[in-house]
Structure 1
């Protein structure tokens, strides 16, 4: 079963458009949404939540989004509004009147875990503290689905790691799901089950994270060596002054067929760079 199904999503803003975006987010999984600034990630999220009008089909938790389904979704936006003139204690009281499943006990637990002072106005919080209160609010509504836009931005590595553990615990029962947009791909490498890569409004790939990491590799060689390689293995090529690098698929088979060529492991950042800056053979 899929928690989110997107089919042929289109949306235009002047000179930018989402171009027939399609992908699914499996229930009980974490999907990482990656891409450069302005690639369309936030537009996709706002379309899922029906914040903006769009063309195409979107199903969330088994149906078209309505007020009942919204009650089952926790959201963190980088630019989401929380009044600067409320304390976190007051924020909890406000949200308890909005969300049917609001869990005040869990909210207070998270405030303690995140070391957020209950009686301090949010206007006096650091950026990292504001991110933490947004995450606490999203989780305390006890949602089935979390949709997160840059949730760990501005946090130090220790707090980021603690939050990632909370996200992982959230989906452990295989009934809860997370869609997370992030520039911190090292975080996604830790927790994501799947990666969808958006560039200039198009889906370049949508695959299992482990499949990407294990199947792809970086070939470093000369132009002469590259000419001997079957183009079916080559996803993208980057040329430097004195060397050539190629993003290779089917890494194990490639190594078997070309034992004299060296292929290194690849991470998500490197895959992004190859797809954006590399060329197709």
Structure 2
């Protein structure tokens, strides 16, 4: 599945775009763009692909996708039937983090929205969204200027406060596209991302961080709430997902190219993290 970079830039008279989409089916393209995207599914069903997350979708779904996070909404086969009278409808809002200026969301008053944008790097599915909020999002297609901007800011604020949500793409997958730049962890991340395809151990990374092995293990688990080995396996499986979706290699080649040293361990770790086998994953992306 080839990944496409799409142009979602807003028009000259607006700092963000609001588009109502109504077609026989959604765009069948695995794509990404520098803009974040807020989506409300109004009609249609199918399978949603966001990073390495694969789930069924339906009407009323509210999703926020981070910048350059690959995604696709693939309608059920019946939507592609020449005799089908079904319609796929959705509202999509595209905006850049700096659409109101480079430092706007760094101000104290905007910290909740800034954290929302950071979470969106993995894609967010909002659960049990108030119907009034959904109507407010949909109404953005009918307002302009200052009122439109203030209503959108209020939408982001309310979504930032919404407690019932689920992150979609795994950390490992996201980090194959975006290099994390955490302050004190720069050297650790740099070493992991440079060497994850090779045999590396926590003691190797501990040496780079000038820590003894046991102290590093405690530090890493405290920061990430998981062991270094689990994190490394997520990075490798995330990279494997990227290769499998792009159909560049078969399972055996992907196993070794993503840093695993044998097929059985690769299959075991892949299923543990993705809840399906690599073969099943390929089959889902071959549509």
Q: TM-score range by the shorter chain?
A: under 0.3
Higher relative contact order (CA 8 A, sep 6+): 1
More helix by share: 2
More strand by share: 1
TM-score normalized by structure 2? Answer: 0.24
TM-score normalized by structure 1? Answer: 0.24
